[in-house]
Structure formats: C-alpha cells, structure tokens
Amino acid sequence: MDENFDQLYAAEQRQGNIFTLFAFIAIFIACLGLFGLSAFSISQRIKEIGIRKVLGANTGSIVSLLSKDFLKLVLVAAVIAFPAAWYAMNKWLQDFAYRIDVPWWVFLVAGAVAALVALITISFQAIKAAVANPVKNLRTE
C-alpha cells in the first residue's frame, strides 16, 4: 500500500522539485533586477546624497532613506501576491485525500524573508553611495 501511495505522489514530488528550482532562479533574477534598479536610482540621486552628507546626515539615515522606497515596493508586491498565493494553494490542496489548511504565519514569514532579501540586495549599493566622498559627487556641477 505504501508503494501505491508513493507512485501516486511521485508526480507531485517531481513537480515540487521543479518548482523549487524555478523559484530559486526567479529569486536570483529578481535580485539582479532589484540590484540594477537600485544602482540606477542611486546614480540618479547622487547629488542629493552628497548634499545630505555635507549637511551632516549619517550613513544609516542615508541607507534607510534609499532602502525605504524599495521596501515599499516589496510591501505592495506582498499585498498583491499573498491573496493570490493563498487562493492557488487552497485550490491545489483540495485535490488531496488528507487536506491541510495553510496557516497565516507562513505568509508573514515569506514577506519577512522577501523584505530581508530585498534589503540585503539594496544595501550594497546604498552603503556604497552613503560612504562615498560627497565632494566628488558635487564637483561635477
């Protein structure tokens, strides 16, 4: 009987492995896009960052200022994705003999991990811009 159940769920196991692989690829591509977007956004605001540094802003406040915009985008994406993911997961789980409900904290953890990954991706560019010499950035005007 166990072998019959294993055969029934073998396709689900393969599908899970494929989804895991594609999820890691999608996260990597999203991080590359976020890295490029943050680099572009910071290069557009380089003079603003220089003026803030000259007026006495510390590195932490500049990093938080630059990261705040991207974290808002992650929050909007989470608000859109969580109901869609909950609906799709419930529809998929209805096909199984032993059905479970998806707890709410799974989405909370997923949102926190997404925000952490976005923050790590953005922080490299933000810290690089915040510790740069403001005189070099303002001299080009």
68-98: pLDDT as tens digits: 888 898 899 999 999 999 999 888 888 777 7
8 A C-beta contact, residue 48 and residue 134: no
5 φ/ψ angles, rounded to the nearest 5 degrees: -65, -40
pLDDT of residue 105: 92
- As given in the structure block, the two tokens for residue 4 are 């019959």
Side-chain half-sphere exposure of 73, counting CA atoms within 13 A: 12
**Res. 113 pLDDT band, cuts 50 70 90:** very high
Higher pLDDT, 129 or 139: 129
Q: Answer yes or no: is pLDDT of 141 > 70.
A: no
Give the pLDDT confidence of 15-63 residue by residue, as tens digits.
889 999 999 999 999 989 989 988 898 888 888 888 888 888 888 898 8
Q: How far apart are CA 94 and CA 90, in angstroms?
A: 6
8 A C-beta contact, residue 62 and residue 130: yes
Helix or strand or coil: residue 101? Answer: coil
